[in-house]
Amino acid sequence: MNITANVVTYQLKRAFTISRGSRTEAEVLQVTVEKNGSVGIGECSPTGRYGESFDSVMEQIESLQGTDFDRATLLHLLPPGAARNALDCALWQLEEPNFPANFDLPEAITTAMTVSIASPQEMAEETRQYITQGATLIKVKLNADLVFERLQAVRTEAPDAIVIVDANEAWGSLDIPETIKHIAPLNIAMIEQPLPAGEDDALTEISSPIPLCADESCHTADDVTNLIGKYQMVNIKLDKTGGLTGAFELERKARENGMQIMVGCMLGSSIAMRAGLPIAAHAVLVDLDGAALIKDDIENGLTYENGQIALR
């Protein structure tokens, strides 16, 4: 088995701003695994929020050079995270020649289109562009400032769309019940990770009319038990689960505990977005627009049209 890994940088179509900062490019690690004449490619996004760097992830990948392993073995060789994700997804492609089509995917999957943090006017304009392009699901990034004003601006431009909110752990300074009560009339379908991971026990005391979704608080199936009573949904991201293999296990555990499934992504190319499609095919909410936010996707990348990922 031969493994190669390279850092690839994609320029974004516009600045991407969340509560933790702003970016104008997406830097990813693309990994190729060659075995017995077959080749698989995976992609990951090392995340500082989870204690990862490109150097640390590259070191994990290089530690397996010359080792013969499969997806089952890999679960014991590396911990969940970006490195295992890239290798796991490369192995899925290598071991399953028709991946991901062999999962009987639908003709199209509706994906959220992400509006990043800016002034209410700028967020309204970005929403208007998405709606003009046919989007029906809008994901709004927020911090603790101008929550209602920003959401109202988005809703005005998207009166008929499904609108979901991603606070990225930024609402710790807010009165969460009052904030939810204030924005509920805007018909918000879901709120993602309002409080920091590790500080979200307060959610057990909240009866929210809007479903709450765990993101930073949920990495693997082992986290599910601690989410009960706080969240009604989990956001499955392959860079957190350590690949599609771990994602299936998280999906199973979450469903067993009555939670709904969302699938999300980091910024990246269609290599990363395709790997999440088997989970997306049965998810309530899908946020796999990462490849639509970069300027130059890979050749033969996914097709985004009318707010959907066209698969046939």
- Convert the pLDDT of each residue in 163-173 to its tens digit: 999 999 999 99
- Across the range 38-60, mean pLDDT stands at 96
Closest CA to 229 of 192, 248, 251, 257: 257
Whether residue 312 is predicted with pLDDT greater than 90 in this model: the reply is no
Burial class (CB in 10 A: 0-12, 13-18, 19+), 159: exposed
15 band by pLDDT with thresholds 50, 70 and 90 = confident
Q: Give yes or no: 237 in active site.
A: yes
Tokens standing for 139? 């994901």
- Convert the pLDDT of each residue in 225-279 to its tens digit: 999 999 999 999 999 999 999 999 999 999 999 999 999 999 999 999 999 999 9
| pLDDT cut 90: percent of the chain above it | 95
Domains 2-95 and 108-310 share a fold: no
Q: What does the pLDDT read at residue 33?
A: 97
Q: Which is more confidently placed, 21 or 121?
A: 121
Q: What does the pLDDT read at residue 213?
A: 98
135 band by pLDDT with thresholds 50, 70 and 90 = very high
Cα dist from 133 to 41, 126, 255, 307, whole Å: 31, 11, 33, 7
Q: What does the pLDDT read at residue 221?
A: 98
**3-state DSSP assignment of residue 209:** coil
Residue type, 119: S
- The structure tokens 């911990």 sit at 79
Cα 186 from Cα 192, distance rounded (Å): 16
Burial class (CB in 10 A: 0-12, 13-18, 19+), 297: buried
Q: Do the beta carbons of residue 293 and residue 266 sit within 8 Å?
A: no
The active-site residue, picked from 13, 35, 141, 240, is: 141
Tokens standing for 136? 């029906």
**3-state DSSP assignment of residue 100:** coil
Statement: 108-310 belongs to CATH 3.20.20.120: yes
Q: Do the beta carbons of residue 238 and residue 89 sit within 8 Å?
A: yes
Q: Is 215 annotated as a binding residue?
A: yes
Cα 76 from Cα 136, distance rounded (Å): 41
- Convert the pLDDT of each residue in 56-99 to its tens digit: 999 999 999 999 999 999 999 999 999 999 999 999 999 998 89
Q: Do the beta carbons of residue 26 and residue 114 sit within 8 Å?
A: no
Q: Where are the domains of the chain?
A: 2-95, 108-310
Q: Give yes or no: 295 in active site.
A: no
Whether residue 155 is predicted with pLDDT greater than 90 in this model: the reply is yes
- Across the range 29-35, mean pLDDT stands at 96
The active-site residue, picked from 13, 35, 237, 253, is: 237
Q: Is 166 annotated as a binding residue?
A: yes
159 band by pLDDT with thresholds 50, 70 and 90 = very high
Cα 168 from Cα 195, distance rounded (Å): 8
- 2-95 adopts what CATH topology? Enolase-like; domain 1 (3.30.390)
Q: What does the pLDDT read at residue 24?
A: 92
Q: What does the pLDDT read at residue 113?
A: 97
